[in-house]
C-alpha cells in the first residue's frame, strides 16, 4: 500500500531530486516515466499507469512533475494526496515550488522527504509542525526535540503559542458551479462553500462553531426559518468535509462543530450543495454567422440577485472563431476587449448591481476562404464575478465560541463572499 | 561529468532564487580533481568545513554523479553531535551502503550509539536509517537497538520503530519472527499514542501481506478491533488510511458486528482528505454484504452518495481515481448513485481521461428515467474536437439503445442527426452502432437504411465498412438497389482487409439467397474471388463452404446462412461478480484503477504465484484499455462479426468444426453470418470431405461449469477438484464454443484457502492439446500442490486461464475433503488430549439425515474413503451415538471432528476442532454434506 520512491522531475523528465524509500524498484525506472510522459498523446495523460510491473503515479505542479513509483497494489488515492501534500509543504518552506527553489534548498528537501514518509508510509505532513524541528538553523547548539504535536492526538498545533491580541478571522467563500446547455436548460448547478480561518489565538483554545445547519435545527427541534432565527432560513448542506482538527465522531453524533484550531491560516471546512439555484448572472447569446464574410454577437447579461447586492469585477468571456478579424463592439456598460490569444471577447463590468440587464453587441469579419472540413472547437461562455456580503446558499455563522483555560476574550471576525466557480454556458 | 556540469551551469545562470536557500552553491565546485579536494575537505577537523564538504558530496549525488568512492571519508564524519551533519551522512549511507556492504559495517557502532542518544530525534533517526540500509550484515546489529526502541519512552521513537520492524521483515523475515518482534509490534496496537498504533497497524498489515504466515501475523480480534477503532478518531489522516485499509481486510462475524463497525467508520466520510474518504467507503461497501436490513442499507446509501459526488470536485488526478472506483461501486451497488447522473456530465475543461471515465459511468447509470438527458449530453459530446472522445460518445448512444429497449428509437434518431453532420468519423461510428442496434432489435428500424446508404462514400474504416455491408446483406430484400450497392463495394474487393472481405462474401451470398434471379453472376464472381484469387485461408474456406452448400442444397444453404442470430447484450463492460467482489475490497488501490485483481499485475517475491507469461499482463492492460472499443465489438456483435480478427488458419480437423458437426456447439458458434445449426443439414456427401466429428472427452458428472462460453468468448471451462492417491488434481474440461481454434492454454491460481497451486507453471499446457479446434473439447487432470501460501478460509479457488484470445478470471469451490492426506489418523490418546485442550471451534446442526448415514457401519467406510479417519465411538444414555474422526490436510493441518447422531430421528450435530483453524468451518460443512448425501 506504499510508495517505493518519490521523484521530482523537470518538464523534460530529468530528475531534480529523488528519494528511494524501499529499494524494491530500480531507480532507473524513471527513464520509462520520462519516455511515457513526453510521448503521451494528449488523450493519454492518465495520472496512474502500469508498465512492466511498475506503477507510475504523478501530478504536475508549475514546471515540475512529482511522481511516485510502486510495484505493489498500493493505495493510489493516498499516494496522490501525499504528492499534493508534498507540494504544499515545499511551498510553505520555499514560498514557491519550482526547479530553482529545490536546488537552492536541496538539503532541507531531503530532510523533509525523509521526515514526511517512512518506508513509503506517509508520516508527518503538517508544515507548521514540521517547521518546529526540520529547520536549517538546527545546527545551533540547542537540542531540538520532536514537538509533542508530532505524535499527539492534536498533531496540528503545538502548545505554548502566544499572541498579544487574540483574534480569529473567518471567511465564508462560496463558489457557484454552473453548467447550462446550449438551449438554455440548466444542467447542473452546485455550490462549493469553504470556511477559511486565520487563527491568532494563544494557548490551546477550544472552539465551537454554530451554523444555520438545517439538520442541526431539526435534530434540536428548532423550527427552521421560525422563531429560532430572527430571519433567514436554515441551510441543508449535502456534503461537508472537515479539517482534521474537527472532531468527526462528535459531529456525526450531534452535529456540533468543535475543534482546537491550528495556528494561522487553514480551511476549517468545505461543503457542497446541489440545490437548483437561479444562475446569479445569466447570459443569453445570439450568434449570427455569415460564413466567409462576418459574424455578429448579441450578448445579454442579466443579474438575478437582490438589488441591494452588487457583483464586482464581472468578466464575461465569449469565445469567437479563431480566424475572426476586425472586431467592433457596442455596449451600454463596462468595457469590451478582443483577446485574440484566447479567441474570445472579454466583457468587463466593474460593478454589476442586482436586478439589472445589459446588452453588448460585437461584430467580426471572417476570412472569405476557410477550411470547411476542420471541426471547430466549441468552448462555452464563462463568467467571473464576486459578490461580497452575500452567500448564495444563505449560510450564516450564528456563533463562534472560543474557550481557553486562561480565560482571555477573543474576537471573531466573519466575512461572506460569493464567487463564480466553474461557470459555463455552452454555445449553440 | 557532463551532466553535472550542465546542471551546474544552469544553476549558475539562474542564480539563487526560490525560497531563500543558497544550497545551489554546492553544485558549483565540480571540476577536475574534485574528488581529491572533497576528500581533503571531509578530513578537515572543523565541523563547518566538514559539513560544507558533505553537502557538496550530496549535491553531486543528487545530480546523479557517483560519489561512492568517498564512502570511508563520509562515514568518518558520522560521529558528530551536529544533527544536520548527521542527517547528511545518514542520507549518504542510505544511498551507497548497498554498494559498499563491507564498509557499511563501519557505521554500525555509531548507529547503535545513536539509538541511545538523549535526544529522541536522534534515536528515531538512527532507527529509521538503519532500517533503510538494506545490508544483511547490518541487520543483525539492528536487533538489540530496535528491541529497546520499540519500548522507548518517546512515542516518536516508538512510531518510527514500528515501521522499522516492517523494514527488517522485508530484508530478513525469519529473523523478525525469531526475535519476537512481531509480538512486540502487536503489543504496540495497545499503545497510548494514536500514531504509534496506526504505524503498528501499517507494519503488521504489510508483513501479513508478504509473510508465509499470512494473515496469522495480523489477526484482528475483538480487542485489537476496539483499539484500532479508538485510534481511528485520534491519529493523523494517513494513520486513518492505514487503519481503514486494514479494517477492509477484516471479516465481521455477522451483520450486527458489521453494522457497529460501519457506525464507527461513517464519520470519516466527512474528512477533508479524499484518501480517508475512499478507504472509509471501501470498508462500508465491503461490510454491507453482511447487512440484510433494507432500511439500514438505504440509510447507508444516503450517507455515501454525497461524499462520492464531492470527490469529483477535487484535483483531476484524484477525480480519475474516484471515477475508476465509482465505476466499480456502481456495478456493485447501483442504487447509491442512481440519482446522481448529472454529476458525471463532462465539463469543457475536464481532462480527457476524466471525460472518458465519466462517460462510462453515465452509460452505467442511464435508465429510462434519465435517458433523454443522457442522449442530449452525448449528442453534445459528439460535436467536440477530441476524436477518440467523440467516437466513444457515439458508441455510447448505441450502447444506451441496446441497454434500454424503450429508448432505442430515440437513440436511433440522435444517431441519424449525427449522421447528418457528415463528419467522417462520426458517421462511421454511427453506422457501427446502428448495426448493433439492428442485431439487438431486428426488423424494427430498417426504415433508416435509406439514410445510411446515402453515406456509403464516407466509410473508409474496415469496421464501419464491414458493418454497412452486413446491414446490406442482412436486409437485402428491403433495399431495392442492394445489388448495386454491394457491387460498388466489390470493385475494391482485393484492397479490403480480411474482415471486410469476409463480410462481402457473406453479404453477397445472403443477397443471392434472397434475390437469386438478378445476382447469380455477382455471387459467382465473389466466390471466385474468395476461393481462387485470395490467399487468405479463412476467406477461401468460407468461400468453399458457401459454394458447396449452394451447389448441393440451396434450401439448406438458406437455413444455414440466413439462420436466426443469437441475441446480444451490452454487458461487455461489466465485471464478473467474483472479480467485482475482490476489486471492491481493493477500492482506492491500484487494482481498483486497473480493474484487475492484484495478483494479475503484482510480481512480488513471496506473496504471489508466478504470473502468466511474465510481463504479458502489463501489455494486456494497456491493450485492453486502448482497444476498449473493439472489445465492445466482440461482445456486442457476437455472431454478426464476419470472423474474429487474426483467426489462425484452421487445420483439416478445424474445418469440420467450422461447420458445427457437433450438435452441442452449433447454436452459440453462429459465426460467419449464421453458419451454426448446420449439423443436421449438412449433405451426406460432405462428410467424407470434412471427416467425422471429433469425440470430446466426457467430463466428469460432478464437474461444474465455472466459465460459461458467453463470458469466456467461446471458451467453456468445467472444473472439479479430485483427490487421487494422496494428491489433488484439478480436472479441467475446456470446450471450444467459438468459431476459431483456441490455443496456448495456461493457468494461474490466485492465493487461496488451501495454498493450492498448479504443480508447474505450464501444468495446464501439459494436459491440454496445443490447440482446440472449434467444437472440440478436452479434459485434463492437472496435478496440484499445496505449496502456496494459504489465504482466507472460504474455500474459493480463484484462477485465471489464458488462451490465445485473452485472460479469463473465474473461481471454483474446492471441497476440503479433496484436500485430505492419507496419513490423517491420529492416535487415540493424542486425540483425546487434543480434543480436551481446544475449545469448541465450529459446530453445525444437521437435519434430515438418511437412514443409511445414521448407520455407523455404513457411514464410517464412506468417510474413511475420503480420508476422514474413524477414531472412537461413544454411546450416550439418551441413545445418541457419538463418533470421533481425525483428518490431516495436505498442507499438514490436523483437525478433529465429532459427529453426534440420534438414530431414527434424522438429526445430528457436527463439531470440528483444530489447533490451526483455517479449515474448521469448511470441514464442518463438508461433513454435513456427507451426512446428507
| Tens-place pLDDT, residues A11-50 | 888 999 999 999 889 888 998 888 888 776 655 689 999 9
Question: Do A115 and A11 reside in the same domain of the chain?
Answer: yes
Cell numbers for B615: 510481463
Q: Best of B10, B270, B277, B329 to disrupt the A interface by mutation (most A CBs within 10 Å)?
A: B270
Question: By percentage, how much of chain B surpasses pLDDT 70?
Answer: 86
Helix residue ranges per DSSP H, A65-203: 76-94, 99-104, 106-116, 127-133
Tell whether A161 is covered by a domain. Answer: no
Contact state of B132 with A119 under an 8 Å Cβ cutoff: yes
Question: Do A81 and A210 reside in the same domain of the chain?
Answer: no
CATH number at A345 reads: 2.60.40.1170
| Tens-place pLDDT, residues B24-40 | 777 765 555 678 888 88
Q: Which of these ranges, B573-582, B685-694, B910-919, has the smallest mean pLDDT? A: B685-694
Alpha carbon distance B233, B239 (integer Å)? 10
Contact state of B19 with A17 under an 8 Å Cβ cutoff: no
Closest CA to B143 of B120, B193, B110, B177: B177
Domain that holds residue A333: 281-388
Alpha carbon distance B36, B29 (integer Å)? 12
What 3-state class would DSSP assign to B93?
Answer: helix
pTM: 0.74
Question: Do A238 and A264 reside in the same domain of the chain?
Answer: yes
Contacts of A22 in chain B (CB under 8 A): 170
Question: Cα-atom radius of gyration of chain A, to the nearest Å?
Answer: 26
Alpha carbon distance B930, B885 (integer Å)? 14
Q: For residue B29, what pLDDT is reported?
A: 54
Q: Best of B130, B244, B267 to disrupt the A interface by mutation (most A CBs within 10 Å)?
A: B267
Closest CA to A281 of A135, A109, A421: A421
What's the Cα-to-Cα distance from B843 to each of B172, B727, B878, B925, rounded to whole Å?
40, 28, 20, 9
Contacts of A73 in chain B (CB under 8 A): 586, 589-591, 598, 601-602
Q: Is A12 on the interface with B (CB under 8 A)?
A: no
Q: Is A422 on the interface with B (CB under 8 A)?
A: yes
The b-or-e profile of B352-378 (16+ CB within 10 A means b, else e) is bbbbbbbbbbbbbbbbeebbebbbbbb
| Tens-place pLDDT, residues B175-198 | 999 999 999 999 999 999 999 999
Phi-psi category of residue B755: left, alpha or beta, with phi > 0 → left and psi -120 to 50 → alpha: left
Question: Do A128 and A180 reside in the same domain of the chain?
Answer: no
Contact state of B321 with A48 under an 8 Å Cβ cutoff: yes
Confidence tier at B571 by pLDDT (50, 70, 90): low
Q: How far is CA B440 from the centre of its chain?
A: 30
Q: For residue A60, what pLDDT is reported?
A: 93
Contact state of A106 with B59 under an 8 Å Cβ cutoff: yes
What 3-state class would DSSP assign to B351?
Answer: coil
Contact state of B132 with A121 under an 8 Å Cβ cutoff: no
| Tens-place pLDDT, residues B605-637 | 443 333 333 333 333 333 333 333 333 333 333
Q: Is B791 on the interface with A (CB under 8 A)?
A: no
Whether the per-residue pLDDT at B687 is higher than 70: the answer is no
Question: Do A12 and A122 reside in the same domain of the chain?
Answer: yes
The b-or-e profile of B274-303 (16+ CB within 10 A means b, else e) is bbbbbbbbbbbbbbbebbeeeeeeeebbeb
Place of cell 505493489: A72
Contact between B18 and A96 (Cβ < 8 Å): yes
Tell whether A160 is covered by a domain. Answer: no
Question: Do A272 and A206 reside in the same domain of the chain?
Answer: yes
Out of A44, A50, A73, closest to residue B589 by CB: A73
In whole numbers, what is the pLDDT of chain B averaged over residues? 81
Out of B272, B373, B594, closest to residue A50 by CB: B594
Contact state of B62 with A17 under an 8 Å Cβ cutoff: yes
Alpha carbon distance A174, B420 (integer Å)? 43
Contacts of A115 in chain B (CB under 8 A): none
Whether the per-residue pLDDT at B897 is higher than 70: the answer is yes
Contact between B291 and B328 (Cβ < 8 Å): no
- As a whole number, mean pLDDT of residues A332-343 equals 94
Distance from CA of B590 to the nearest CA of A (A): 5
Q: Does an H or E element contain B269, and which? A: none
Out of A95, A106, A251, closest to residue B270 by CB: A251
Question: Do A107 and A172 reside in the same domain of the chain?
Answer: no
Q: For residue B702, what pLDDT is reported?
A: 59
Contact between B545 and B657 (Cβ < 8 Å): no
Contact state of A146 with B154 under an 8 Å Cβ cutoff: yes
Tell whether A356 is covered by a domain. Answer: yes
Question: Do A193 and A314 reside in the same domain of the chain?
Answer: no
Tell whether A418 is covered by a domain. Answer: yes
Contact between A105 and B55 (Cβ < 8 Å): no
Closest CA to B476 of B516, B436, B520: B516
Tell whether A156 is covered by a domain. Answer: no
Phi, psi of B655 (to 5 degrees): -60, -45
Tell whether A227 is covered by a domain. Answer: yes
Q: Is A369 on the interface with B (CB under 8 A)?
A: no
Distance from CA of A289 to the nearest CA of B (A): 18
Alpha carbon distance B21, B18 (integer Å)? 7
Contact between B732 and B812 (Cβ < 8 Å): no
CATH number at A138 reads: 3.30.450.60
How many Cβ atoms sit within 10 Å of the Cβ of residue B45?
Answer: 6
Tell whether A251 is covered by a domain. Answer: yes
Phi, psi of A42 (to 5 degrees): -60, -30
Q: Is A34 on the interface with B (CB under 8 A)?
A: no
Contact between B147 and B164 (Cβ < 8 Å): no
ipTM: 0.89
Angle (CA) B676-B677-B678 rounded to 5° is 90
The b-or-e profile of B780-804 (16+ CB within 10 A means b, else e) is bebebbbebbbbebebbbbbbbbbe
Domain boundary among A120, A150, A180: A150
Question: Do A38 and A140 reside in the same domain of the chain?
Answer: yes
Question: Do A40 and A184 reside in the same domain of the chain?
Answer: no
Nearest CA in chain B to A126: B236
| Tens-place pLDDT, residues A267-315 | 999 999 987 888 999 999 999 988 788 999 999 999 999 999 999 999 9
B845-849 long-range contacts, CB within 8 A, separation 24+: B845/B907, B845/B908, B845/B909, B846/B907, B846/B908, B846/B909, B846/B910, B846/B928, B846/B931, B846/B932, B847/B906, B847/B907, B847/B908, B848/B906, B848/B932, B849/B901, B849/B906, B849/B907, B849/B908, B849/B931, B849/B932
Q: Is B83 on the interface with A (CB under 8 A)?
A: yes
Contact state of B23 with A106 under an 8 Å Cβ cutoff: yes
Q: Does an H or E element contain B402, and which? A: helix B387-403
Q: Is B65 on the interface with A (CB under 8 A)?
A: no
Contacts of A179 in chain B (CB under 8 A): 345, 347
* Chain A stretch 45-74, residues whose beta carbon is closer than 8 A to a beta carbon of chain B: 45-48, 50-53, 55, 58-59, 70-74
Question: Do A185 and A261 reside in the same domain of the chain?
Answer: yes
Burial of B429 (0-12, 13-18, 19+ CB in 10 A): buried
Sorted by sequence, the CB contacts under 8 Å of residue A407 that are 6+ apart come out as none
Cell numbers for A314: 464581472
Distance from CA of A356 to the nearest CA of B (A): 28
Alpha carbon distance A28, A13 (integer Å)? 12
Q: For residue B32, what pLDDT is reported?
A: 55
Contacts of A136 in chain B (CB under 8 A): 21, 84
Alpha carbon distance A288, A301 (integer Å)? 18
What 3-state class would DSSP assign to A398?
Answer: strand
Tell whether A155 is covered by a domain. Answer: no
Question: Do A219 and A295 reside in the same domain of the chain?
Answer: no
| Tens-place pLDDT, residues B344-386 | 999 999 999 999 999 999 999 999 999 999 999 999 999 888 8
Q: Is A379 on the interface with B (CB under 8 A)?
A: yes
Q: Is B166 on the interface with A (CB under 8 A)?
A: yes
> Any bridge partners for residue A331, and if so which?
A360
Q: For residue B830, what pLDDT is reported?
A: 82
Distance from CA of A344 to the nearest CA of B (A): 15
Whether the per-residue pLDDT at B595 is higher than 70: the answer is yes
Q: Is A333 on the interface with B (CB under 8 A)?
A: no
Q: What is the total count of domains within chain A?
A: 3
Complete domains list, chain B, with CATH = 1-95 (no CATH), 100-211 (1.25.10.10), 312-561 (1.25.10.10), 704-818 (2.60.40.1150), 819-932 (3.30.310.10)
Q: Best of A10, A51, A73 to disrupt the B interface by mutation (most B CBs within 10 Å)?
A: A73
Amino acid at each position: 500500500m506504499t510508495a517505493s520512491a518519490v521523484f521530482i522531475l523537470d518538464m523534460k523528465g530529468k530528475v531534480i531530486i529523488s528519494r528511494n524509500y524501499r529499494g524494491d524498484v530500480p531507480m532507473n525506472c524513471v527513464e520509462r516515466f520520462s519516455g511515457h510522459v513526453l510521448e503521451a498523446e494528449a488523450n493519454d495523460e492518465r495520472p496512474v499507469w502500469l508498465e512492466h510491473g511498475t506503477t507510475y503515479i504523478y501530478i504536475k505542479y508549475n514546471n515540475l512533475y512529482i511522481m511516485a513509483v510502486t510495484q505493489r497494489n498500493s493505495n493510489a488515492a493516498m499516494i496522490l494526496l501525499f504528492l499534493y501534500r508534498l507540494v504544499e509543504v515545499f511551498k510553505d518552506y520555499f514560498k514557491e515550488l519550482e526547479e530553482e527553489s529545490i536546488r537552492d534548498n536541496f538539503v532541507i528537501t531531503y530532510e523533509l522527504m525523509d521526515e514526511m514518509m517512512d518506508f513509503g508510509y506517509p508520516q508527518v505532513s503538517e508544515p507548521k509542525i514540521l517547521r518546529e524541528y526540520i529547520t536549517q538553523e538546527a545546527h545551533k547548539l540547542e537540542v531540538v526535540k520532536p514537538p509533542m504535536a508530532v505524535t499527539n492526538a492534536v498533531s496540528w498545533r503545538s502548545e505554548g503559542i502566544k499572541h498579544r491580541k487574540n483574534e480569529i478571522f473567518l471567511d465564508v467563500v462560496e463558489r457557484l458551479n454552473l453548467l447550462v446547455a446550449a438551449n438554455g436548460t440548466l444542467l447542473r448547478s452546485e455550490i462549493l462553500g469553504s470556511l477559511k480561518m486565520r487563527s491568532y489565538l494563544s494557548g490551546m483554545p477550544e472552539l465551537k462553531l454554530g451554523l444555520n445547519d438545517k439538520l442541526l435545527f431539526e435534530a434540536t427541534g428548532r423550527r427552521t426559518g421560525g422563531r429560532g432565527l430572527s430571519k433567514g432560513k436554515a441551510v441543508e448542506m449535502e456534503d461537508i468535509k472537515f479539517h482534521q482538527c474537527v472532531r468527526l465522531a462528535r459531529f456525526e453524533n450531534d452535529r456540533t462543530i468543535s475543534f482546537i484550531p491550528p495556528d494561522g491560516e487553514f480551511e476549517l471546512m468545505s461543503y457542497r450543495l446541489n440545490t437548483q439555484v437561479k444562475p446569479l448572472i445569466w447570459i443569453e447569446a445570439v450568434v449570427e454567422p455569415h460564413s466567409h464574410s462576418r459574424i455578429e454577437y448579441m450578448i445579454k447579461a442579466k443579474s438575478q440577485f437582490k438589488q441591494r447586492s452588487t457583483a464586482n469585477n464581472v468578466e464575461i468571456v465569449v469565445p469567437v472563431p479563431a480566424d475572426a478579424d476586425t472586431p467592433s463592439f457596442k455596449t451600454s456598460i463596462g468595457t469590451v476587449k478582443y483577446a485574440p490569444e484566447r479567441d474570445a471577447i472579454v466583457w468587463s463590468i466593474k460593478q454589476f448591481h442586482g436586478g439589472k440587464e445589459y446588452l453588448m453587441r460585437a461584430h467580426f469579419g471572417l476570412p472569405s476562404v476557410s477550411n470547411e472540413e476542420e471541426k471547430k472547437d466549441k468552448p462555452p461562455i464563462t463568467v467571473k464575478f464576486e459578490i461580497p456580503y452575500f452567500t448564495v446558499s444563505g449560510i450564516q455563522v450564528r456563533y463562534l465560541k472560543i474557550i481557553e483555560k486562561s480565560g482571555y476574550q477573543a474576537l471573531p471576525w466573519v466575512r461572506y463572499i460569493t464567487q463564480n466557480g466553474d461557470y459555463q454556458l455552452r454555445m449553440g | 561529468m557532463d551532466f553535472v556540469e550542465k546542471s551546474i551551469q544552469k544553476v549558475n545562470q539562474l542564480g539563487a532564487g526560490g525560497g531563500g536557500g543558497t544550497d545551489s552553491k554546492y553544485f558549483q565546485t565540480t571540476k577536475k580533481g574534485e574528488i581529491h579536494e572533497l576528500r581533503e575537505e571531509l578530513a578537515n577537523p572543523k565541523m563547518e568545513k566538514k559539513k560544507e564538504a558533505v553537502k557538496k558530496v550530496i549535491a553531486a549525488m543528487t545530480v546523479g554523479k557517483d560519489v561512492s568512492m568517498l564512502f570511508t571519508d563520509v562515514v568518518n564524519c558520522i560521529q558528530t553531535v551536529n544533527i544536520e551533519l548527521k542527517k547528511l551522512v545518514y542520507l549518504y549511507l542510505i544511498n551507497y551502503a548497498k554498494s559498499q556492504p563491507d564498509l557499511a559495517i563501519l557505521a554500525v557502532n555509531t548507529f547503535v550509539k545513536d539509538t541511545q542518544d538523549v535526544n529522541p530525534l536522534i534515536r528515531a533517526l538512527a532507527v529509521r536509517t538503519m532500517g533503510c540500509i538494506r545490508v544483511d550484515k547490518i541487520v543483525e546489529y539492528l536487533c538489540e537497538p530496535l528491541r529497546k526502541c520499540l519500548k522507548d519512552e518517546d512515542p516518536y521513537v516508538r512510531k518510527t520503530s514500528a515501521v522499522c520492524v516492517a523494514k527488517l521483515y522485508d530484508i530478513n523475515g525469519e529473523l523478525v519472527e525469531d526475535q519476537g518482534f512481531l509480538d512486540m509490534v502487536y503489543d504496540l496496537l495497545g499503545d497510548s499514542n494514536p500514531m504509534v498504533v496506526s504505524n503498528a497497524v501499517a507494519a503488521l498489515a504489510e508483513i501479513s501481506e508478504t509473510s508465509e504466515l499470512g494473515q496469522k501475523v495480523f489477526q484482528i480480534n475483538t480487542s485489537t478491533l476496539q483499539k484500532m477503532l479508538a485510534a481511528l478518531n485520534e491519529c493523523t489522516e494517513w494513520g486513518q488510511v492505514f487503519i481503514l485499509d486494514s479494517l477492509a481486510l477484516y471479516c465481521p462475524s455477522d451483520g450486527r458486528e458489521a453494522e457497529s463497525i460501519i457506525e464507527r467508520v461513517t464519520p470519516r466520510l466527512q474528512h477533508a482528505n479524499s484518501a480517508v474518504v475512499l478507504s472509509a467507503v471501501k470498508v462500508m461497501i465491503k461490510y454491507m454484504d453482511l447487512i440484510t436490513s433494507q432500511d439500514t442499507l438505504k440509510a447507508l446509501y444516503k450517507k455515501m452518495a454525497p461524499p462520492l459526488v464531492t470527490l469529483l470536485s477535487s484535483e483531476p488526478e484524484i477525480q480519475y481515481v474516484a471515477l475508476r472506483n465509482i465505476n466499480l461501486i456502481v456495478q456493485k451497488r447501483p442504487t447509491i448513485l442512481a440519482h446522481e447522473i448529472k454529476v458525471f456530465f463532462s465539463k469543457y475543461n475536464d481532462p480527457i481521461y476524466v471525460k472518458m471515465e465519466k462517460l462510462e459511468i453515465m452509460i452505467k447509470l442511464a435508465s429510462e428515467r434519465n435517458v433523454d438527458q443522457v442522449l442530449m449530453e452525448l449528442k453534445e459530446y459528439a460535436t467536440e474536437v477530441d476524436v477518440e472522445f467523440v467516437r466513444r460518445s457515439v458508441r455510447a448512444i448505441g450502447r444506451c439503445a441496446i441497454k434500454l429497449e424503450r429508448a432505442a428509437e430515440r437513440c436511433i434518431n440522435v444517431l441519424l442527426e449525427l449522421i447528418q453532420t457528415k463528419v467522417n468519423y462520426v458517421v462511421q461510428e454511427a453506422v457501427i452502432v446502428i448495426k448493433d442496434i439492428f442485431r439487438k432489435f431486428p426488423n424494427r428500424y430498417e426504415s433508416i437504411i435509406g439514410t445510411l446508404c446515402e453515406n456509403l462514400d464516407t466509410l473508409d474504416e474496415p469496421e464501419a465498412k464491414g458493418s454497412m455491408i452486413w446491414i446490406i446483406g442482412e436486409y437485402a430484400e428491403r433495399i431495392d438497389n442492394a445489388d448495386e450497392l454491394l457491387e460498388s463495394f466489390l470493385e475494391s474487393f482485393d484492397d479490403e482487409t480480411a474482415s471486410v472481405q469476409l463480410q462481402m462474401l457473406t453479404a453477397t451470398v445472403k443477397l443471392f439467397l434472397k434475390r437469386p434471379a438478378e445476382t447469380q453472376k455477382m455471387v459467382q464472381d465473389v466466390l471466385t474471388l474468395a476461393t481462387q484469387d485470395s490467399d487468405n485461408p479463412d476467406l477461401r474456406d468460407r468461400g468453399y463452404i458457401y459454394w458447396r452448400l449452394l451447389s448441393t442444397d440451396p434450401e439448406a444453404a438458406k437455413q444455414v446462412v440466413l439462420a436466426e442470430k443469437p441475441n446480444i447484450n451490452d454487458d461487455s463492460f461489466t465485471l464478473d461478480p467474483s472479480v467485482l467482489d475482490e476489486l471492491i475490497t481493493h477500492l482506492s488501490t491500484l487494482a481498483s484503477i486497473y480493474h484487475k485483481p492484484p495478483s494479475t499485475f503484482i510480481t512480488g517475491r513471496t506473496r504471489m504465484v508466478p504470473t502468466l507469461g511474465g510481463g504479458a499482463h502489463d501489455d494486456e492492460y494497456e491493450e485492453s484499455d486502448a482497444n476498449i472499443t473493439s472489445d465492445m465489438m466482440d461482445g456486442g456483435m457476437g455472431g454478426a462479426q464476419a470472423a474474429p480478427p487474426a483467426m489462425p488458419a484452421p487445420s483439416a480437423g478445424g474445418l469440420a468444426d467450422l461447420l458445427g458437426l457437433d450438435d452441442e456447439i452449433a447454436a452459440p458458434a453462429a459465426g460467419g453470418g449464421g453458419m451454426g445449426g448446420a449439423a443436421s443439414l449438412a449433405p451426406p456427401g460432405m462428410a467424407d470431405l470434412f471427416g467425422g466429428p471429433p469425440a470430446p472427452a466426457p467430463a466428469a458428472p460432478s464437474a461444474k461449469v465455472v466459465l460459461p462460453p458467453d463470458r469466456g468468448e467461446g471458451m467453456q471451462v468445467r472444473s472439479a477438484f479430485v483427490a487421487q492417491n494422496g494428491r489433488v488434481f484439478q480436472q479441467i474440461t475446456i470446450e471450444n464454443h467459438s468459431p476459431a481454434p483456441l490455443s496456448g492454454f495456461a493457468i494461474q491460481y490466485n492465493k487461496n484457502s488451501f495454498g493450492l497451486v498448479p504443480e508447474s507453471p505450464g501444468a495446464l499446457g501439459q494436459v491440454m492439446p496445443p490447440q482446440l479446434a472449434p467444437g472440440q473439447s478436452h479434459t485434463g487432470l492437472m496435478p496440484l500442490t499445496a505449496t502456496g501460501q494459504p489465504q482466507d478460509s472460504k474455500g474459493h479457488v480463484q484462477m485465471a486461464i489464458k488462451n490465445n484470445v485473452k485472460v479469463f478470471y473465474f473461481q471454483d469451490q474446492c471441497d476440503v475433503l479433496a484436500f485430505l492426506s492419507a496419513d490423517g489418523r491420529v492416535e487415540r490418546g493424542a486425540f483425546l488430549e487434543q480434543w480436551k485442550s481446544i475449545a469448541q471451534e465450529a459446530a453445525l446442526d444437521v437435519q434430515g439425515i438418511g437412514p443409511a448415514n445414521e448407520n455407523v457401519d455404513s457411514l464410517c467406510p464412506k468417510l474413511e474413503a475420503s480420508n476422514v479417519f474413524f477414531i472412537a465411538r461413544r454411546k450416550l444414555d439418551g441413545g445418541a451415538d457419538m463418533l470421533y474422526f481425525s483428518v490431516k490436510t495436505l498442507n499438514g493441518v490436523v483437525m478433529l471432528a465429532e459427529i453426534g447422531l440420534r438414530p431414527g430421528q434424522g438429526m445430528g450435530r457436527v463439531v470440528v476442532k483444530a489447533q490451526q483453524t483455517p479449515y474448521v468451518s469448511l470441514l464442518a460443512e463438508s461433513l454435513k454434506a456427507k451426512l446428507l448425501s
